[in-house]
Amino acid sequence: MTHLTSFLQTLLFELRSSSARTRLRYASTRVRVDPSARVSMRAVLDAVHGGTITIGPNVLISRGARILTHGGDVEIGADVSINDLAILYGHGGLRIGRGTRIAAQALFIPSNHVFADPDVLIKDQGETSEGIDIGEDVWVGAGATILDGVRIGRGAVVAAGAVVVRSVEPYTVVGGVPARVISHRGPA
Ligand SMILES: CC(C)(COP(=O)(O)OP(=O)(O)OC[C@H]1O[C@@H](n2cnc3c(N)ncnc32)[C@H](O)[C@@H]1OP(=O)(O)O)[C@@H](O)C(=O)NCCC(=O)NCCS
């Protein structure tokens, strides 16, 4: 048996068994995983603190990825892939459109602490949460961070390591901290 065959068989086993385990472990009205989705046993889908998680058809969620609702609703569209160690919080709502690619260690945080009053502990000032909306066919690069209130248009690309603080137009490529437009997709 070649190394590649062995690797593929191990991978298939892990994905199949983990899907079943995930459905058992999280069988509740709060977490719905389409039967065709493949969720690593080492991924975490956590709706313990309220909210819901909906995983669409043919979604792939890799090892160490974490989806944590924190009271909000997380909706992952069909054919989305979420790679190793990506973290998706749900606070104010998070929607990922069909076919979108999320690279390793990407981070989605639809929430901010209120910190206006310097005389009150930040932890006691509450939070704001507008939500995050990622369109279809978006590519979020490795280690990118998407902050609250951001809408990313269809077909956009977020460069590795970007911190996205403002919404992104469709088919644009953004990068840097804070993220700015670095190019556009399509004919020049
Ligand atoms: C953004 C990316 C896709 C390249 O897009 P591109 O449109 O071909 O960009 P270019 O390479 O032509 O670079 C255009 C400009 O953006 C800058 N740039 C490219 N990647 C950048 C990044 N990650 N952060 C900040 N700036 C970046 C370049 O330095 C260049 O700047 P300049 O014009 O001042 O020289 C690529 O750099 C990238 O980040 N890929 C993500 C890889 C990844 O995460 N893979 C995970 C596997 S799923």
Q: Which residues line ligand 1 (CB under 6 A)?
A: 101, 103, 141-142, 157, 159-162, 173, 175-176, 182-183
Taking CA atoms only, the protein residue closest to ligand 1 atom 28 is: 182
Q: Are 107 and 132 in contact (CB under 8 A)?
A: no
Average pLDDT across the chain, whole number: 90
Here the tokens at position 107 are: 């981070």
Report the residue among 171, 182, 184 best suited for mutation to probe ligand 1: largest number of ligand atoms under 8 A from its CB.
Answer: 182
pLDDT tens digits for range 49-88 = 899 999 999 999 999 999 999 999 999 999 999 999 999 9
Atom number of ligand 1 nearest to Cα 158 = 1
Is 79:96 a contact under the CB 8 Å cutoff?
no
Question: Domains along the chain?
Answer: 29-184 (2.160.10.10)
Q: Supply the pTM of this predicted model.
A: 0.88
The per-residue DSSP string of 48-91 comes to TTS-EEEE-TT-EE-TT-EEE-TTSEEEE-TT-EE-TT-EEE-T
Kindly give the pairing relationship between strand 52-55 and strand 127-128.
unpaired
In angstroms, the CA 181 to CA 95 distance is 22
Amino acid at 56: G
Residue ranges for the chain with pLDDT beneath 70: 1-3, 5-28, 188
Q: How far is the CA of 155 from the centre of ligand 1 (A)?
A: 16
